[in-house]
Amino acid sequence: MAAPGALARGAVPGPPTRILDRRFAAQLVTAAEGLLERFGTPDAPGLLKSLRHEADEFPGLFREALRPEFSDAGMYVLRGLPVEDASLGPTPTGWSVAGDAGALWDVVLLLLAAAMGHPMGWRGQQNGRMVNNIVPAPGHENEQTGASSTVLLAPHTEDAFHPRRADLLLLCCMRNHEGVATTASSVRLTDLAPEDVDALSRPMAPILPDDAYTSSALPDEVHACAGTVSPQPVRTLWPTPDGLTIRFDPAYTRFDGTDAAYRAAYARLEAELSRVVRAVALEQGDVLVVDNDVVVHGRVPFRSRYDGTDRWLKRALVHVPHRRGRPESERAEHGYGQPVIDPYCDGT
């Protein structure tokens, strides 16, 4: 990474990169192989329950490499997982046909998530699998979901519609031969007038569940619930003692109940987020770790081929127990009836 002085004027520095020690990387892979051998699939309840114990065994230096210290960048890249094309197999043509493709890396990612907090998932997302495959899928090219390709995936907070959205988002790169960039903007690098922060800190516009949920197989009771709950306006910004936080997903936000002044402040926030955007082209074996309360992420458009060589990421979500910072009022939100999967289930 270039030293700050070497950056062009006004440029935003890239995310800090932490290089994973080779021995730790090998230890992770061995632990993941052992778990897969014992339990058969990354979503086996026994495997999920074992993650915490396995992660507790990691050496202190390894934990240090994963520390949740983000600075204002709100993210870092962990580099050095030994992912290789030869042993990986072809990129699946959609999450629904991925099955256990690259399952070893699902478990590696779950172990990393367990070292950072509690791995979590959604029952209504990719059939409730804890690690999601982010691959382009035929027929979904223009969607605002991870399955798209030809359109810009607009910047968003992951699962912004839900009060129990993840604290951290992990994107692990299986392959990305064309260097297609994930976009990432930290709200802490924006420069907004105090009046705009005030305006956007009021609960004004609801954020609805994204299309990745409606295209999933939801249990009947969830469909029933989602159909009857009414949209709740939420806060876009929220100042905390550590700095500004954000909850943002314009593609799924309903602005009909907002006034012109609010929409103008929102537009200024969008302009600031694009001013400070970073294009992060993940390399094979990189894990981008994002603070979901500080950074909004998206993806530049690209051309999919569906020939087994397309870009392929895996995504895991982490709840960090006892983290402070979200407004109290969020606790009363219904989350549109979308149930969280929390394998630890210990209420922290």
Ligand X SMILES: O=C(O)CCC(=O)C(=O)O
Residue numbers in the known binding site are 156, 158, 182, 297, 311, 315
The entry of ligand X, Fe ion, none that residue 153 binds, CB within 5 to 8 Å by partner kind: ligand X
CB of 180 to ligand X, least distance (A): 7
**Cβ contacts of 138 within 8 Å, gap of 6 or more:** 93, 94, 304, 306
Measured from the Cβ of residue 19, the count of other Cβ atoms closer than 10 Å reads 11
The entry of ligand X, Fe ion, none that residue 247 binds, CB within 5 to 8 Å by partner kind: none
Per CB under 6 A, the list member of 158, 286, 291, 330 interacting with ligand X is 158
Q: What is the helix (H) or strand (E) element at residue 109, kind and residue range?
A: helix 103-116
CB 312 within 8 A of CB 102: yes
Which residues ranging from 306 to 335 are in contact with Fe ion (CB under 5 A)?
none
- Angle, helices 45-56 vs 103-116, to 10°: value is 50
Q: What is the helix (H) or strand (E) element at residue 70, kind and residue range?
A: none
Nearer to ligand X, 73 or 204 (CB): 73
CB of 134 to ligand X, least distance (A): 4
Q: Which of 212, 221, 232, 62 is nearest to 140 (CA)?
A: 212
Number of residues near ligand X (by CB under 6 A):
9
CB of 164 to ligand X, least distance (A): 16
146 binds ligand X (CB under 6 A): yes
Joined together, the tokens standing for residue 106 give 């699902």
313 binds ligand X (CB under 6 A): yes
d(CA 159, CA 164): 9
162 binds ligand X (CB under 6 A): no
Which residues ranging from 152 to 181 are in contact with Fe ion (CB under 5 A)?
158
Q: Which residue is nearest to ligand X (CB)?
A: 182
Joined together, the tokens standing for residue 136 give 């382009």
Q: Report the binding-site residues for Fe cation.
A: 156, 158, 297
The entry of Fe ion, ligand X, none that residue 155 binds, CB within 5 to 8 Å by partner kind: none
273 binds ligand X (CB under 6 A): no
d(CA 294, CA 151): 24
Nearer to ligand X, 35 or 171 (CB): 171
136 binds ligand X (CB under 6 A): no
Residue 114 burial by CB count (10 A; 0-12/13-18/19+): exposed, middle or buried?
A: buried
Enumerate binding residues for ligand X (CB under 6 A): 134, 146, 153, 158, 182, 297, 299, 313, 315
